[in-house]
Structure 1
Amino acid sequence: MADEAARAHAAEVARAQEEGRDPPPPPPNPQDPAGDVNAQPQAGAPTIGDYDSADAFFMDRNPIHPPLPARNDYEIKPQIIALVRQNQFNGLPAEHPLDHIENFEEICSTTRSNGVSADYLKCKLFSFSLGDKASRWLKSLPAHSITTWDEYKAAFINHFYTKQRSISVRNKISNFRQANNESFYEALDRFKEYIRDCPNHGFNEGNLWNIFYRGIDHKYNGNFH
């Protein structure tokens, strides 16, 4: 059958050349399943319908993938997870991302888990401390993109401690004024909070105290001593 088809095709090609027509395409190879319209898909090969099923698109989308510990018999205590969840960061403007990191690391310092590294433990626990906008931010990260706690912490701070926030707090420091109903110690505590909330403020210690006393003196019309 194959030889007859080949001879017939050769005759058609010769006739087309004599008549100045384009030659016909070669006949399908019976050994090639792609050329046989009646060929059945090979066993185990995916069909078009398979790509419509939900599991075809499922993958591990978790962005947090620290290296697995050497031992697999570790357990993170439910009490620690519950404590972390009680101190969630939701990504709201009034929340302080640096304070959240400090509080979280303080909680983590109180527990150990069967020889598992602190880095791995923090990577696994920190996700429980994120809610609302912060949780959505976490899910937006590329899969498997974070492998260490330092990377996780840096990504969190870079996203939520924005340049605008840093500029705003720096301006609060440089333009500090004691409020009319504020005592000296209350003003000092507030000033220290600004400094703590903006570790990259850029002022040296002498400049900071000059700014503070200028703000205190403002309340007393230049008569503060």
Structure 2
Amino acid sequence: MTEPGLFATLPPAGLLLLGALLTALLPRGLRALPVIASPLAVLAVAWLLPDGAGAAHAWLDQVLVPVTVDATGRAFATIFALAALAGGLYALPRASTTELVAAQTYGAGAVGLAFAGDLLTVLVFWEVLAIGSTVVIWAAGTERARRAAMRYLQIHLAGGMILMIGIVGHITGGGANTLAALTADVDAGSWAAWFILAGVVINAGAPPF
């Protein structure tokens, strides 16, 4: 595949976050541009990125790899980008700016998770997704929507906290900040790995949540 240069070091999710920022700043008549262009840009970059890990960044003695590309991640990113595009086209005539920005943020979190190459990046984009989806519910503006958004947020905060405890426990216990290392933790029956799994299950809304 063609080498995309800068996008090999930056998460494609950043394109949707940039789109959300432009949607918030541009006049109502121009907001269709970022709503449509940002998911299309994500689609293009997702298929231009070469397979394998992107640039690594050192942070607090940990190695962050925000972008790791494989067939599965590319497929999910494609689905999420198409969903963001379809949702944006449907919502443009009727949604508020707040709802559009939140939906793009939600999409950015999902795309970021699809390409995340380390556990800390997973945690960051998981929270981005939770914030965006909560605001989408809240933006309906009714009392019922606000109550639903608060319940949704409480569940995701609980799941996010459990996920964070698991990731911190995994890393401080000597595990590497990689998804591959997590597999080894699961095989070893590590409590941290089970906390991570529980956090994912709660945030994903799997039964009984």
For this structure pair, what is the TM-score category when the shorter chain's length is used for normalisation? under 0.3
- Rg larger for: 1
Q: TM-score scaled by structure 1?
A: 0.24
Bigger helix fraction:
2
Bigger strand fraction:
2
Q: TM-score scaled by structure 2?
A: 0.25
